[in-house]
Every structure is written in C-alpha cells, then in structure tokens.
Amino acid sequence: VFEFADQYRGSYSDSLGSVVCPFYCSYSGYNDELLWGASWLHRASQNASYMTYIQSNGHTLGADDDDYSFSWDDKRVGTKVLLSKGFLQDRIEELQLYKVHTDNYICSLIPGTSSFQAQYTPGGLLYKGSASNLQYVTSTAFLLLTYANYLNSSGGHASCGTTTVTAKNLISLAKKQVDYILGQNPAKMSYMVGFGERYPQHVHHRGSSLPSVHVHPNSIPCNAGFQYLYSSSPNPNILVGAILGGPDNRDSFSDDRNNYQQS
C-alpha cells in the first residue's frame, strides 16, 4: 500500500472533491502522510528501507517545516515527535533535526518561553480554532505525554532558548488540559459525555439524537431527522465517552445540538 501511495502521489480530495469538500478536503496535501506512513512502518517493522526513505525524502516531504497543529489532516508534528524517539532513544544522529523541530513545537505551547505563541482561554484551555477545538486539545495532550515519555526514557529535555523544559512540565500541561475537559473549568462541566455529574445533553450526533428503534421501530427518512436536530429535548441515547467540540475562546459553551462547532 505504501509503495502504491508513493508511486501514484495525489490527494484523495483531488478526485473526490465534490463529495468530501469543503469539510474533509486534504488541505495539507499528501506529503505529510507519506512521511508519517514511512515513520510508522519503520517503527513497526524495523525495516531499514523505510529509514532510508525517511532520510532520502524527509526534506522534500516537510521535515524542514515547523508546524503547530496535529490533526486528522496534518500529521507533520506527530511525525516529528515519532521520529525524535529515534534520536533520543536510539541515538540515530540523522534524526536530530526532528528533535529540534519537536522542541520548537513544544516551546510554542509553554508560557514564558521565548517561542511561546499558543492561545489559552481565561480558564486555561488551549485554543486552536472555533470549530471542534477539543480535537486539537486532545491530540496536543497526546503528543505532550508521548514526548514526555521519550524524554524520561532518555534523560533528555526540550530546549526553548535559555529555558529548559522537562518531561514533568509536559505532563503537567497535558494534565491541565485533560482536567479541563473532564470538568475542572469555569462552567464546571465535563465535555466528555457520560463522565461526571454534569455534561452536555444535546450532542450533535445522529445516532444519539434519534429515538431508539425500540421506541420508534419504523425507519426514519433522512429529511425527517431534522425534527430531532432542532428539538430542545436531551438526546435519548447517551453517547458515553464522546468528547465534544468544546467551549469558545472565552470558555463559553452552548449546549445546542445545531451548534456543531461546539456540540
């Protein structure tokens, strides 16, 4: 599959644009996925050919770029964190560049460092965008904990100019984000459905908002579903474990099923 993707390069939305755009276009292109794929294949197989591919193609596939978001569309930061493991733990000198770029990403998140540029809400939540912001918060927390693990196992640290950032600092920041999501926030609300005493009741999710087949055994046509979208009643099916889009940059949240950016 990887060889096919590398040989026949292109973004899926080039041919499926009318179906997937504008919501799921491949805005970042395909270079990040090629480097991401090669990195994971090397990690899983230890096949030297993938490391050769990374070293030969990394510079043209985004290795020299600093990027500050990790998402379903853009894998560049995740790739750099993953490859930094090879430098920190396996001492592969050719991968030092990825450790440098990972540090740049980490430093951008840490208040007080010379490279700090992230935005946080008054309540302390990392804020990357108005639409489904918690997808970025959760992926960032994951990278913070992953990199902290790599640093701990190698005795390393992140260099932010004259500031040294330790694994403990990264774990602390990740924990603050998780605690916020689970209820330690100005609204005193858990943004994980089914967790805690207070969580959103009007989740933007078709299966959760439509009545159960036991209550409504007949099929519901597509257009008939809008009455449930606009209903003020709580979702009849609790989507346990789902994390919502979350509050805005002022910690305000609207428990409104039609507000898909937040719910």
Tokens 């090629």 belong to 34
Cα separations in angstroms, 42 against 6, 30, 51, 88 = 15, 19, 6, 16
Nearest to 137 by CA among 67, 204, 71, 205: 71
Angle between helices 76-88 and 31-45 (to 10 degrees): 30
Active site (catalytic) residues: 204
Buried-state track 60-72, b at ≥16 Cβ within 10 A, e below 16: ebbbeeebbbbbe
Nearest to 209 by CA among 220, 218, 195, 198: 220
- Cis peptide leading into residue 122 (ω within 30°): no
